[in-house]
Amino acid sequence: MDELQKRAIHLAQEGRSLFLTGSAGTGKSFTVQNMVRVLRNQGKTVEETAMTGCAAILLSPRARTLHSWAGVGLAREELDDLEMKIRRNKNSLRRWKSTDVLIIDEVSMLGPTLFEKLEALGRRLRRSPQTFFGGLQIILVGDFFQLPPVDDPKFLFESAVYREGIKDVVELKTVYRQKNDMEWYNVLQNVRRGTLISDDIDLLRSRTQTQTTTQSTSMTTLFPVNRKVDFMNDFELDRLGSTIHEFPSVVIHRGREVSDEQIKMWRSRLGVNEEPLRLAIGAQVMLTYNLSLEQGLVNGSQGVITGFTDSDKKIPLVRFVNRPMVPPLEIHPMEISNAEEEKDENFKVVFQYVPLRLAWALSIHKVQGCNLDTADMDLGNQIFEYGQVYVALSRIRTLQGVFLRNLDVTKIQANPLVQEYYKQFEGLPTQKKKNKKMKTNPFQEFSFEGIQL
């Protein structure tokens, strides 16, 4: 453990609310795991949350989404209505009152509007109106150079409530994920900050399909838009010519009726698809749950369907890329409950689903928080968001795992507001910036077309 990781844990031990940041692969998750262990050894009640179900699963099996922990649903109501909603739910209210430390991961996707509502709710529900979050210690984790909030035009650090409550920021510097490929790490740092040099561009160009050998047939393609993801997955599945088996997700609930809107919301928060999962022998898939950290079977592990069991349930068999010499593994349906109500004896909603998704193609937004061994990427002119290219590239541990079918270097940009925010941690002068749409990069555009979708 390096000195900055130790500092973050020490601040948490002292009861300080803080923001733990750093580029992808600098050990933020490792630091949080050790922080949680230390705080629980102190007798504190620690709750781990994240902005998406995928990211929550990566934290720990006990983690949940922030919306679920808070009991606010989509949180579109006014503050008074949200307070009443929580008070009517004894489990939500209990969590607010009994939690000592709240960890929130992937905080780049948390906007000021939701954060300020939650902070005000903390003061009310914990009956401590003069203290930040009502005395609840807040540990924020993430990287604002990654994808921004979907439903809020501002970054969290633009909030006065954030600036007043979060006084300590620890930016991790030591790289772990790409530690065996420092050339690749240095390129990623420049992509992250939008400060590419000509050598970086040359290195990225060397990974285009016109420059690299044919990639593995089990490789996932990352697209910036969902339309291309769906098209490619359906196209490749049908092209196999194998019998297609469908695995619908099953919803079980008891205690009272559940509206379609609630089911849809919980599906979204927990990462359970509404459409049946379609699989066939030869299909490329990705695991969506941490089955075994010890065996490397984690969210993001890639593999190929080799067959199905002979039972009526037709359990899929997967040979994982990182376990080529191990017999294919049966992937059984698992259960995940709506965490908001999971301890309520009178009401519960459970989703039963196979924790796989087709993985010939994935959206860049879907893989934030995941680690991939290899990927073929479309980083062309349909990139539409600051940080999107960085999120895609930084999922991969080594340069040799990166293959590019399109590259538009004018899309490799960092948001000026984020650049200014991070300057303060380096002792650099800052200046006020306005949040703008992506602008044209002075570098020449390079485009390498692969499959046309």
How far is residue 301 from each of residues 160, 282, 297, 402, measured CA to CA in Å? Answer: 40, 16, 6, 16
Amino acid 402: pLDDT = 94
- State whether 21 and 164 are in the same domain: yes
Q: Is residue 441 part of a domain?
A: no
> From CA 141, how far away is CA 247, in angstroms rounded?
35
Tokens for 257, please give them.
């009726």
pLDDT digits (tens, 9 = 90+) for 331-345: 999 987 764 444 455
| pLDDT of 210 above 80 | no
- 397 with 177: CB under 8 angstroms? yes
Amino acid 345: pLDDT = 56
pLDDT digits (tens, 9 = 90+) for 97-124: 999 999 999 999 999 999 999 999 999 9
- With a pLDDT cut of 70, the percent of the chain lying above it is 87
Q: What is the domain range of residue 25?
A: 3-172
Q: Is residue 431 part of a domain?
A: no
pTM greater than the 0.85 cutoff: no
Averaged over 75-79, what is the pLDDT? 91
Q: Which residue has the tokens 């590019």?
A: 404
- State whether 13 and 154 are in the same domain: yes
Rounded mean pLDDT of the chain? 86
- State whether 26 and 118 are in the same domain: yes
- State whether 211 and 162 are in the same domain: no
- State whether 214 and 266 are in the same domain: no
Q: Phi and psi at residue 84, in whole multiples of 5°? A: -65, -40
| pLDDT of 446 above 50 | no
Here the CATH number for the domain that contains residue 53 is 3.40.50.300
- State whether 211 and 309 are in the same domain: no
Averaged over 403-412, what is the pLDDT? 95
Amino acid 24: pLDDT = 81
Amino acid 62: pLDDT = 77
Q: Is residue 433 part of a domain?
A: no
Least confident of 148-152, 251-255, 352-356: 251-255
Q: Is residue 444 part of a domain?
A: no
Amino acid 227: pLDDT = 93
Instruction: Show which of 324, 358, 392 is a domain's final residue.
Output: 358
Amino acid 337: pLDDT = 72
Q: Phi and psi at residue 286, in whole multiples of 5°? A: -130, 135
Q: Is residue 447 part of a domain?
A: no
- State whether 21 and 153 are in the same domain: yes
Least confident of 19-23, 149-153, 289-293, 327-331: 289-293
Instruction: Show which of 358, 374, 400 is a domain's final residue.
Output: 358
- State whether 295 and 213 are in the same domain: no
Instruction: Show which of 311, 339, 358 is a domain's final residue.
Output: 358
- State whether 35 and 143 are in the same domain: yes
Q: Is residue 440 part of a domain?
A: no
**Proportion of the chain in helix, strand, coil states, percent, rounded to 5:** 35, 20, 45
Amino acid 452: pLDDT = 34
Least confident of 5-14, 277-286, 291-300: 291-300
pLDDT digits (tens, 9 = 90+) for 229-258: 999 999 999 999 999 999 999 888 776 677
- State whether 368 and 351 are in the same domain: no
- State whether 340 and 369 are in the same domain: no
- Looking at the structure of the chain, the number of domains it has is 3
- State whether 8 and 39 are in the same domain: yes
Least confident of 201-205, 309-313, 340-344, 371-375: 340-344
Amino acid 442: pLDDT = 35
Q: Is residue 238 part of a domain?
A: no
> From CA 124, how far away is CA 134, in angstroms rounded?
7
Amino acid 251: pLDDT = 86
Q: Is residue 231 part of a domain?
A: no
